[in-house]
Amino acid sequence: MLRFTVTLDRDEDGVWIAECPSVPGCVSQGTSRDEALANIEDAIRLCLQVRSERGLPLTIETRSVEVAV
């Protein structure tokens, strides 16, 4: 079992967009927050499978940084 951070945002049409920053190109969406979260879980599994089949690293490094605003 692997744990991933995902981002959630709503677009101008109200669709929820979910993205997994540590898996390049791994994005999904849903009409609700819960649907977007369920869809990104599926997308992560599929992206990891494709990356593995192609011999690519499964993830890229992500970090948190502090920014003064």
pLDDT at residue 44, rounded to an integer: 98
pLDDT of residue 46: 97
What per-residue confidence (pLDDT) applies to 30?
98
DSSP calls for 3-17: ----EEEE-TTS-EE
Domain ranges of the chain: 1-69
Q: Does domain 1-69 have CATH number 3.30.160.250?
A: yes
In this prediction the pTM is 0.88
Among 56, 11, 17, which Cα is nearest to 35's?
Answer: 17
Intra-chain end-to-end CA distance of the chain, in Å: 36
Give 10-residue mean pLDDT values along the chain (69 residues): 95 97 97 98 97 95 92
Q: In this predicted structure, what is the pLDDT of residue 9?
A: 98
Alpha carbons 56 and 40: distance in angstroms, whole number: 20
| CA neighbor of 39 nearest in space, from 29, 49, 51 | 29
CB-CB contact of 24 with 58 (8 Å): no
